[in-house]
Amino acid sequence: MGLESGEQELSPESFKRLDPVEVHGIPFHKGTARRWRLISEFKARPDDLVICSYPKSGTTWIQEIVDMIRHGGDPQKCEKTPIYKRMPFLEMPHPVVSPLEELEAMTSLRTIKTHLPVQLLPPSFWEQNCKIIYMARNPKDNVLSYFHFHRMNQTYPDPVTWNQFLENFLAGKVLWGSWFDHVRGWWEAKDHHPILYLFYEDMKEDPGREIQKVAQFLDFELPELVLNKIIQHTTFERMKANPMTNYSTLPSFILDQTVSSFMRKGMVGDWKSNFTVAQSEKLDGICDQLLRNSGLTFRTQL
Ligand code: A3P
């Protein structure tokens, strides 16, 4: 199930380094594009929670935090299943999991991960007034993390070189499209929809404060003891060592973690080790232009 009629399912191995396919002007993985009609017709339920982000913004981090909040800070309840099974990825490109079928079968409260830009979120999420948590990360660390993810994700286009990948990112010619449009679009949507807009840098600076914001948004009260358990369970080091969050349960023909780890560095400011001055200035200039008058600002160091 899940494909347009007449389409054959591709074998998992045939997903290697495919070129993007445009859907409504946004480059997507072929595996997503082939399921687009079903994704766009997805039927949300009013109590669905959406976790949305541009890829590599700390999505997995906020997913684990949400699951821990919902389970009263009990790590054992979160350690039974990989995160991508607990919170299916709506437009997951790869047929190794079937998010649409899994979501349909879920009876308990559903949390759905997506990287879709605001204009492509399936309409029923708006109609059902679902709560949405959006996670944003500064573009310099975000693009560097995305570059390394392309190196290790064997189903994504070849990033070629760092400079080439950065140029593609700045032009919006990467999977899920323009980072600038993504963060700005969701920022503007929060004025007329229940969206909690979070920043990776704030989370690094004071996880306790940000976790409390999430809990409040989800109508949970967190006693200090529970809050501390959540903070400890969701540190970078703990999540890197946890097979249920570090994606080591996916086969290496999808994520080759010998090339780069999914939980790579988890830092603010790692970009400084990779950007030239000219690259940094170019990104700053484009950022100033495209985020002008939005009220949206990013910290590139703490
Ligand atoms: P780096 O590649 O910079 O290390 P996503 O989940 O959206 O794919 O984002 C992955 C990025 O978030 C990776 O960034 C990863 O290391 C980082 N990350 C994941 N869990 C984290 C945590 N608990 N603390 C800090 N960063 C985390």
What are 89-118's pLDDT values in tens digits? 999 987 777 899 999 999 889 999 999 999
Packing angle of the helix pair 179-189, 277-290 (nearest 10 deg): 40
150 lines ligand 1 (CB under 6 A): no
- Residue-wise pLDDT for 257-293, tens only, equals 999 999 999 999 999 999 999 999 999 999 999 999 9
- Any atom of ligand 1 within 6 Å of the Cβ of 145: yes
Does the beta carbon of 68 lie inside 6 Å of ligand 1?
no
Tell me which of 52, 54, 56 to substitute to probe ligand 1's pocket, judged by most ligand atoms within 8 Å of the beta carbon.
56
Q: Is 60 in the pocket of ligand 1 (CB under 6 A)?
A: yes
Q: Give, using CA atoms, the residue closest to atom 22 of ligand 1.
A: 236
The answer to whether residues 226 and 68 touch, using CB atoms and an 8 Å cutoff, is: no
Residues 243, 244, 250, 254: is their CA dihedral positive or negative?
A: negative
Q: What is the pLDDT of residue 1?
A: 40
The domain covering 24-290 belongs, at the CATH homologous superfamily level, to P-loop containing nucleotide triphosphate hydrolases (3.40.50.300)
User: Would you call 71 a catalytic residue per the annotation?
Assistant: no
Report the alpha-carbon distance of residue 1 to residue 250 in Å, rounded: 22
Q: Is the dihedral of CA 255, 196, 193, 44 positive or negative?
A: positive
Helix (H) or strand (E) holding 134: strand 131-136
Read off the pTM. 0.96
Q: In the chain, what are the domain boundaries?
A: 24-290
* Residue owning the nearest CA to atom 20 of ligand 1: 61
